[in-house]
Amino acid sequence: MLNLNELIEMNHWWKIGRVKREFALPYKRKLFKEILKYLNSRQIISIIGLRRVGKTVLLYQTIDHLIENGVDPKNILYFSFDERKTKLRELFELYQEKIIKKKINNEKIFVFLDEIQKLENWQNKMKIFYDLYPNIKFFVSGSASLNIFLDAKETLAGRIFYFYLDLLSFEEFLELKHKNIENMRKNPELWKEEINIELNEYLLKPFPELIDMPDEVARKYIKEAIIERVILRDISCLFGIREIEAMEKVIYAISSNPGLLINLDDMSRNFAISRQVLSNYLYYLQYCFLIRQLKNFRGSLKVSSRKLKKYYPLHPCFTITLSSLTENGKIVESLVAFKTKAEYYWRERQKEVDFVLIGRELLPMEVKYKNNIRIKELRGLLKFMEKFKVKKSLVITKDYEAKEEFKGKTITFKPLWKWLLNL
């Protein structure tokens, strides 16, 4: 049974009238401002993302904002299902009887439920309370998109808005390091060396808590507090998986070789598991935010989905932590996959394009992390542009910057450090 003292401890602002600074940290992610736009909407605000990206801090910052703007601290209820289990009705009854001491639907109440996926059948329970109490504004967070998004999509249709909190962007990383990005943009060549030094740090430390950690401690943190915890706690608990060794092999294989083309038959034989089990593991790892899947572009989603899939770790920090890979090109390729959120690559016979971005126009992208790039290295890019009648493409380089014309087609060469800061 839920203990009142535990609830009071989770909601310390009931006593002191504010959120402690160590909970509502001063730096605010870009998503914070976006969420504020929806404070007055009826819909549930759902924040999903990988463990340790700052979802709970974002909830505390929102609570702090509400109090600073005149909301009675006792009208704000926070509960973390990561710390203990309880029934929603039990939680609301205790809050109503012991804290606000009036009917919960008499005035505006803000309710924050952290790691909601750990509440069994949460989407149906949330639907009941959402419909019963129109004066309650709900905020929920979760570390497993499978459970948060897919299961709730139909049940809470029209009742919930989803927001994804990603790992730090390079720009956010620099802001947390108190760098003046505007000065860097005004005169990038002056700041080039410092930007590249910070970029090397960022490759390992895209989590807010890692900013000032020594490298070895950061690697241990990523391996144990994030990767192993997601596999051991989130995936294994959600799907009842006991044998996790093969799943660990999968994440190690992808992290050691970013952009790995996976043939399910071959890999399942190598790992001594069935094809279906391997397919399930890839699915779990992707939707719990550890890996990213790209399909082979053919101009049709139906056709593309039948071809070999290409896999990247979510961020190159996983590669740096789990493997001994030192090939800068592959690590940078993984970073480009992270920033672009690309869903497609292209491969036909011996020709390939690293990424195909879908927008108003197709944009093929290649990663060539060096300065001397020969035309024969761009045959795949030029073939793609010819086949799909694309006029522009982008190549990410180390330092080389130019625009070159080939048979009426424009290839833009952009240094990684400039591209990351939109220079």
> Average pLDDT of 6-16?
96
pLDDT at 149: 59
List beta partners, residue 141.
47
H or E element: which one contains 316?
Answer: helix 316-322
Q: CB within 8 A of 376, min separation 6: which ones? A: none
For residue 319, name the pLDDT band (cuts at 50, 70, 90): very high
pLDDT at 305: 67
For 155-254, where are the E strands, in sequence order?
160-164
For residue 326, name the pLDDT band (cuts at 50, 70, 90): confident
Rounded Cα–Cα distance for residues 149 and 218 (Å)? 30
> Average pLDDT of 409-418?
97
**Tens digits of residue pLDDT in 269-284:** 999 999 999 999 999 9
**Tens digits of residue pLDDT in 24-51:** 999 999 999 999 999 999 999 999 999 8
| Topology of the domain covering 4-164 | Rossmann fold (3.40.50)
> Average pLDDT of 135-144?
90
In the structure encoding, which two tokens stand for residue 77, read together? 């209820």
> For the domain bounded by 203-326, which CATH number is listed?
1.10.10.10
Query: Is pLDDT at 302 greater than 80 in this prediction?
Result: no
Percent of the chain topping pLDDT 70 = 96
Query: With contact defined as beta carbons under 8 Å apart, do 236 and 227 qualify?
Result: no
| 119-124 CB contacts, 8 Å cutoff, 24+ apart | 119/81, 119/85, 119/88, 122/152, 123/151, 123/152, 123/155, 123/156, 124/155
Q: Is the pTM of this model over 0.75?
A: yes
pLDDT at 357: 97
In the structure encoding, which two tokens stand for residue 287, read together? 């939707």
pLDDT at 301: 64
> Average pLDDT of 297-318?
85
**Tens digits of residue pLDDT in 349-367:** 889 999 999 988 999 999 9
Query: Is pLDDT at 88 greater than 60 in this prediction?
Result: yes
Q: CB within 8 A of 215, min separation 6: which ones? A: 204
Query: Is pLDDT at 147 greater than 80 in this prediction?
Result: no
Percent of the chain topping pLDDT 90 = 79
Helices and strands, number each (H, E), in the chain: 22, 14
In the structure encoding, which two tokens stand for residue 60, read together? 């505390």
Alpha helices in 203-241 (DSSP H): 215-221, 229, 236-239
Mean pLDDT of the chain: 92
User: Phi/psi at 167 (nearest 5 deg)?
Assistant: -60, 165
- Strand duo 291-296 + 351-357: pairing: unpaired
Rounded Cα–Cα distance for residues 150 and 295 (Å)? 20
Q: Enumerate the domain spans of the chain.
A: 4-164, 203-326, 342-423
pLDDT at 203: 97
Q: What is the DSSP string of 256-288?
A: HSTTEEE-HHHHHHHTTS-HHHHHHHHHHHHHT
